[in-house]
Each structure stands twice: as C-alpha cells, then as structure tokens.
Amino acid sequence: MGNIKYSKNKLDFTTDLRNSVNEYFSKNNIQPHGNWKIYVKTIFMSLLYLAPFILMISGLVSSVILVLLCWFIMGLGMSGLGMVTMHDANHGSFSKNQKVNRFFGNSLYLLGGFPANWRYQHNTLHHGFTNIEGHDEDIAPPGILRFSPHRSLKKVHRFQHIYAWFFYSLMTISWIVAKDFRRLRKYREMGARLSGNRKFNRLLVDVIISKVIYYSVFLIIPLLTIPVSWYWVIVGFLLMHFTSGLVLSTIFQTAHVVPTSEYPVPDGNGELDNNWTIHQLYTTCDYSPKSTIFSWLVGGLNYQVEHHLFPYISHIHYKDISKIVQIKAMEYGLPYHVNETFARAVWQHIKMLKLLGRRRDSVKMTTQVSGSHKVVAV
C-alpha cells in the first residue's frame, strides 16, 4: 500500500467549516458527543436484538413461524445496535468518557465481529482514504463485485446490480466465519497497529475466544433450548445474519457507490488534488434528510457527509450541523451531494453498479488534468 498525501489547497474551507461547527456547539451550550438520546436508542436496539432471543431460549416461543420471526427481528436489532451504538462508540463519539466508548464499542462482539479489526478497517482505511483504490476496503469486495472503476472488469459484473444484494446479505456471516481472521493476518503483514498493548498472537487468541463465545451463545444454546427442530434454528440463525448484512451493506454502500461519487487518483508523487475535507465532499453522499424516523433508526448514517467530515461528533447532531455544511460548501463552490429519499439512494446505487459493470459507460474519477475533475471512460 503506497503512501497517499492530501493536497493543502483550500484549507481555508476546512478551517472555516470547523470553526462554524464548533461555534454551533458553543452557542447552544451542547457537547459534540452523545447524550441521553443515544442511551434511549441503545436500550431500544438492545431490546430489539436480545428480547426475541430470550423469548426463544426460554421456550415462550415454540412455533416455527414465530421462531423465524424472532430471528428476523434479531437481525434488525443486530444492524440497529451496530449503527446506533457500536458505530459511534468505536469512533469515540458515543460518550466523552473513553472507557464508556470502549465498553459500548465492544458491543461488536455481540454481533460476531472483532472491534480492533473494525476500527482499523473503518476508522483508518475507509475514513482516511474514502473511495481510493488500494486503500479503502469498502470498495474492494470479492472479485464477483466491482465497486471501483480502477478494478478489473469481468463479464459477470454486467449483472452485479441484480446479484449484489445476495452478497450484501452475507456481510455479517463473513465476520463470524473467516473475515476477521483474514483481516488480522493482512493487517499484521501491513504492519498496522491495531491495539496499543496487544500483539498479534494475543489478538489472534482474542478473535478465537470471541468466536467460540459467540457461537456458543447465539447458536449452540438456541440449538439446545429452542423447542423446534434443529434445522429451523440453523435457518433462523442464517436469517438473522442475512437480514443484518443486507441492511448494513445497503446503508453504507448507498453513500459512496453512487454516480455522484468520485474515485480519486493520486499523481506520480502520491498526492491528491484536494485536501482531506474536500475529498469527503466529492466521495460521499447524504440521503433521506427529511425523514426523522428513518434517520433515528439508522443511527444518523443517512448523513454520511457530516459523519465523514466529523466522525468524532455523535450522529445525534448530524441533522443540525448538516445545514452548516451545506451553507459552507455553497459559499466555497464545493459539491454537497444528497438524494432526497432512501429509495432514490438505492436506485442511484443500482445505477452505479450498472455503470461499473459496463466498460463503455463512464464513472467519475479525479485525475491530475489541470487540477480539474474529468469524466473518464472505463
């Protein structure tokens, strides 16, 4: 992985934007981290995830249909807990107390993931190098999917807008089966520092133990206690993961793999056209800003622009600071991409998958041509 350097152009925009957001918090006498609202959300999502589980293993739910319904609801709660609680906590924005952040960040163990891997992949790679080929792992799925115009094109990609949704549903399944082990080995080879005091061997032991505990609690115990045939328990367990994987993948991919997003290319010295702040505006898109309920349920992740610009600010503030970001982007002649509804965001993502699956279509990429943004055929 080569070194990437961001340009220092228009740093006055970065300074102005950050000062304006800081002024908003100061004037309103509020803190940028979460407050009672995020605890209410956490309780709700925890109950959505764990209450059906308790009903099943206690024997209070015994019919196959109700058991499958419980697993489905758990899938919704699983994704909700990830978006509302785990995500903020692992960004350090859930609470001003970092011990509290670490505690709730470890809720990822309940979802079958490994926090140390997630923080490096998401906070460092995805946020640090959004939509940059060879750095952002969110645009580097298995070869059957093509999320970047810089990756090799295969004939099968022509149909990825149809079959991508099946692979999205496998997202959390991959966590609990192999992905965390592959990532840990990859990050070790990269020389990445995942934990301040835990070496690779200790991290590997932690991954193994966490997976054993996860399978024991959420699969073995249900197999032994839920009063339906064992294969329905397996089906339900998979249904939970298919549901959460589809929800999480769709929420994140509709913010970056859309026609308005660019895929910047560094010059020969590894430098990009824009500074990091402006880079986020060109590679990220908001959606459904007027839907309060939807935003509440997805942990404010429909405000992806604001999240990428201020990952250390809790999502409960994104709607308010989005007005500031829009105004400042307009003042400096910079883009602020937004799809008015989630349905439109999904449709735009489908369009992008089609574009990326066809060689003769065009995808936006930032190139070093007179400092402009040029549409390049792929």
Distance, CA of 121 to CA of 179 (rounded, Å): 12
pTM: 0.91
Q: pLDDT at residue 370 above 50? A: no
The residues, ordered by sequence, that sit 6+ positions from 75 with a Cβ below 8 Å of its Cβ are 239, 240, 241, 242, 243, 244, 247
Q: pLDDT at residue 52 above 50? A: yes
What's the distance, Cα to Cα, between the start and end of the chain in Å?
Answer: 23
Q: pLDDT at residue 272 above 70? A: yes
**pLDDT for residue 364:** 58
In the chain, % of residues over pLDDT 90: 86
Distance, CA of 362 to CA of 287 (rounded, Å): 23
In the chain, % of residues over pLDDT 70: 94
Q: What does the chain come to in residues?
A: 378
Per-residue pLDDT, averaged over 105-132, amounts to 95
DSSP state, 124? Answer: I
The residues, ordered by sequence, that sit 6+ positions from 177 with a Cβ below 8 Å of its Cβ are none
Per-residue pLDDT, averaged over 334-349, amounts to 97
**pLDDT for residue 372:** 31
Residue with tokens 């979802």: 111
Q: pLDDT at residue 371 above 60? A: no
What mean pLDDT, rounded, does the chain reach? Answer: 92
Per-residue pLDDT, averaged over 8-26, amounts to 95
Do β-strands 372-377 and 362-369 pair in parallel, antiparallel, or remain unpaired?
antiparallel
Per-residue pLDDT, averaged over 268-289, amounts to 94
User: Where does the pLDDT of residue 357 fall: very low under 50, low under 70, confident under 90, or very high at 90 and above?
Assistant: very high
In this structure, what is the dihedral angle of CA atoms 338, 344, 349, 353, given to the nearest 10 degrees? Answer: -140
Q: pLDDT at residue 367 above 60? A: no
Q: pLDDT at residue 2 above 80? A: no
- CB-CB contact of 84 with 42 (8 Å): yes
User: Where does the pLDDT of residue 174 fall: very low under 50, low under 70, confident under 90, or very high at 90 and above?
Assistant: very high
**pLDDT for residue 375:** 29
Q: pLDDT at residue 366 above 50? A: no
Integer CA distances (angstroms), 27 to 14, 31, 95, 161, 312, in order: 20, 11, 20, 46, 19
Distance, CA of 91 to CA of 82 (rounded, Å): 12
Strand partners, 169: none
User: Where does the pLDDT of residue 9 fall: very low under 50, low under 70, confident under 90, or very high at 90 and above?
Assistant: confident
Q: pLDDT at residue 84 above 90? A: yes
Three-class SS state of 319: helix
- CB-CB contact of 159 with 144 (8 Å): no
Distance, CA of 87 to CA of 311 (rounded, Å): 10
Per-residue pLDDT, averaged over 116-144, amounts to 94
**pLDDT for residue 199:** 85
**pLDDT for residue 1:** 53
Integer CA distances (angstroms), 24 to 28, 96, 111, 135, 333, in order: 6, 18, 35, 33, 22
User: Where does the pLDDT of residue 359 fall: very low under 50, low under 70, confident under 90, or very high at 90 and above?
Assistant: low
Residue pLDDT, tens place only, 184-211: 999 999 888 887 777 888 999 999 999 9
Q: Compute how many other C-beta atoms are within 10 angstroms of the C-beta atom of residue 331.
A: 11
Strand partners, 365: 374
More confident site: 366 or 180: 180
Task: Please provide the DSSP assignment of 281-317 as one string.
Answer: HHH--EE-TT-HHHHHHTTTTT-HHHHHH-TTS-GGG
Least confident of 17-21, 166-170, 184-188, 359-363: 359-363
